[in-house]
Chain A
Amino acid sequence: EVQLVQSGAEVKKPGESLKISCKASGYTFTKNWIGWVRQVPGKGLEWMGIIYPDDSDTRYSPSFQGQVTISVDRSVTTVYLQWSSLKASDTAMYYCARHVLDCSGLDCYSEHFDYWGQGTLVTVSS
């Protein structure tokens, strides 16, 4: 059974650093991209970026490029999202999700997130 289990809720002060995690199991970890999605309380879903665990190839949304770092540790099948200096505006729920390619042979026609973690609530407040 595919599972993505995220680390627990965090309460931090502005300027502090943070690294949250997403542990994957139940499938071949290196074969699927994993992404991160932000949801500010009461707002919609924002695609932050994705990483390919096999070679650590990472794609960021321009909105989040330079603001966060996505990384992977293949030895523990875990993907991370980290901040070096948190801001109050980083307060949100963060979801990781497994990304799949929808292909028929070599012909691909879509991609989507098929499994999601339970979310990690990050609160940044002085």
Chain B
Amino acid sequence: DIQMTQSPSSLSASVGDRVTITCRASQTISTYLSWYHQRPGKAPKVLVYAASRLESGVPSRFSGSGSGTDFTLTISSLQPDDFGTYYCQQSYNTPHIFGPGTKLEIK
């Protein structure tokens, strides 16, 4: 199976800050990488797919980049609604493993 790692595992940032989360795959996955956001008690929602394509309706402050094994999710200006946990997911091979998550707290 392809393994996924994320860093940091948690972070605390202030409204307006630029936040970057990284995700690494154990082998190349081309652009088969998605990012999801999950608030407590809610189902995850996709933010970015194909490594850099923004899902319809997702605010433009979110962006994704990378290909191969290294990927980043950037929030250009953190908003109060952005708290929660962020997960990357590879879909290059089954099983489509999720990363362990990055918990984001708003200061």
Contact = CB atoms under 8 A, between A and B. Distances in A.
B98 A110 contact: no
Contact of A109 (B31, B38, B46, B101): B31
B87 A102 contact: no
Determine the main DSSP class of B at the interface with A. loop
Interface in B29-86: 30-34, 36, 38, 43-46, 49-51, 53, 55, 85
Determine the main DSSP class of A at the interface with B. strand
A45 B100 CA distance: 8
B34 A112 contact: yes
Nearest to B48: A112
A119 B44 CA distance: 10
Contacts of A118: 43
Contact of B96 (A111, A117, A119): A111
B91 A110 contact: yes
A95 interface: yes
Contacts of A119: 43
A69 B85 CA distance: 29
B44 A47 contact: no
B87 to A, nearest CB: 6
B13 to A, nearest CB: 21
Interface in A102-126: 102, 109-114, 116-119
Interface in A72-126: 95, 97, 102, 109-114, 116-119
A13 interface: no
Given A45-B101, A47-B97, A110-B51, A117 B87 contact: no
Contacts of B12: none
Given A44-B101, A45-B87, A112-B49, A61 B43 contact: no
Contacts of A60: 95
Interface of B: 1, 30-34, 36, 38, 43-46, 49-51, 53, 55, 85, 87, 89, 91, 94-101
